[in-house]
Amino acid sequence: MPKPADATILAWARLVRAHAAAMGHVQAALKAAGLPPLEWYDVLLELEREGPLRPRDLQARLLLAQYNLSRLLDRMAEAGLVTRGPCEEDGRGQVVAISEEGRALRRRAWPVYSRAIQDAVGAKLSEAQAAHLAELLGRLTR
Amino acid sequence: MPKPADATILAWARLVRAHAAAMGHVQAALKAAGLPPLEWYDVLLELEREGPLRPRDLQARLLLAQYNLSRLLDRMAEAGLVTRGPCEEDGRGQVVAISEEGRALRRRAWPVYSRAIQDAVGAKLSEAQAAHLAELLGRLTR
DNA sequence: TCATTCTCGATGCAGTTGCATCGAAAAGCC
DNA sequence: GGCTTTTCGATGCAACTGCATCGAGAATGA
């Protein structure tokens, strides 16, 4: 069935638009607070939750391109937010861990970030609507 | 109310993820067909629907940054897809119009694009769900 | 074991984006 | 009218991304 229904096309268009609007708001809020971009936060959160990880695992979890992540980790390591160590069971690989500064930055960023999410999403929907939206969006990655 | 509800945060996270997945699929499909990226299509469609427009109107409609659009139009003009003309009622401005090649490219791109939308969105949802999703997403930009 | 193939992460290079700012024209104000 | 402020679109420069490819190590398989 190659022809998408009108509702499908509308959903796509609004997905793009809603994402652009919400993401723009969030990134602007982070920048206004002197914080690094969202992907830095994502990396820090993932490392904090899951413990030290190898780049390829981060890559898979965060849907980042390999070369992109490689250089992102360069910048974050240079900023002292993560550390790279050798990988025991694979000589090619490495293990990336969050540093204490990394944890501190993530904690500092969360109020700004959560506030922006509230403005961009929470304020526009009832809680039930948000839950329903999450449910429908979840189907798109399954 | 600065604290977002859990449902809000989940909706945000899934919005980001669903967008990344769907957009990735669509852009990959366009590239695989030798077509230019999605924003080119958006510009062409907007110009086809609305007729010649000034850059700042395109900017507002497509949520593009000003400098970004300026250079995008450079590339598209160089590729012969749009033409820039002087603006009658504003000496600073210009009027951008789609060319015949531009129309042809848009027509050629649509089957690939719509197919990708169907794969990324339509195939994952019933029509009613798609309509509901569109409705909820629409609230985020209002 | 040794050769082939595959995976991991880095990197040179070209293209794109973001930021700040510019020049020109318009709009607002006295 | 003259002056200031605002808007429009372009652009220099630095940062980032995408692509192709590389080197090193691991896995496969005879």
- What is the per-residue pLDDT across A110-130, written as a single tens digit (0 to 9) for each? 999 999 999 999 999 999 999
Residues of chain A with Cβ-Cβ distance to B65 below 8 Å are none
Residue ranges with strand state E in chain A: 82-86, 94-98
The confidence score (pLDDT) of residue A138 equals 97
Q: For chain A, what is the mean pLDDT?
A: 95
Q: What is the mean pLDDT of residues A78-99?
A: 96
Q: Do B142 and A22 contact (CB within 8 A), yes or no?
A: no
Mean pLDDT along residues A19-48: 96
Would you call B124 and A139 a contact, using CB atoms and an 8 Å cutoff? yes
Size of interface A-B (CB pairs under 8 A): 173
Close Cβ partners of A26 (under 8 Å, ≥ 6 residues apart): A38, A113, A116, A117, A120
B contacts of A12 (beta carbons < 8 Å) = 22, 117, 120-121
**Residue extents of the structural domains in chain A:** 6-139
The answer, yes or no, to whether residue A1 has pLDDT greater than 60, is no
Amino acid at A68: N
Enumerate the residues of chain A whose CB falls inside 8 A of the CB of residue B45: none
Nearest CA in chain A to B112: A2
DSSP label at residue B5: -
Closest CA to A138 of B132, B126, B19, B50: B19
Rounded distance, CA A93 to CA B92, Å?
55
C1’ D6 / CA B66, Å: 16
Residues of chain B with pLDDT under 70: 1-2
pLDDT at A2 over 90: no
- Residue A13 has a pLDDT of 96
Pick the CATH number of B6-137 from 3.40.50.2000, 1.10.1740.10, 1.10.10.10, 3.40.720.10: 1.10.10.10
CA torsion angle B20 A72 A33 B23 (round to 10): -10
Tokens (6 digits) for B125: 């949802």
Which amino acid, residue B62? Answer: L
pLDDT of residue B1: 52
Tell me the fold of A6-139. Arc Repressor Mutant, subunit A (1.10.10)
Position A4 scores a pLDDT of 83
DSSP assigned state of A34: T
Q: Determine contact, residues A80/A101, Cβ cutoff 8 Å.
A: yes
Q: Which two tokens stand for residue A21?
A: 């609007």
Mutation choice for A interface testing from B1, B3, B6, B8 by most A CBs within 10 A = B8
DSSP B34-62: TPPPHHHHHHHHHHHHH-SB-HHHHHHHH
**Which among B111, B118, B137 has the least Cβ separation from residue A8?**
B118
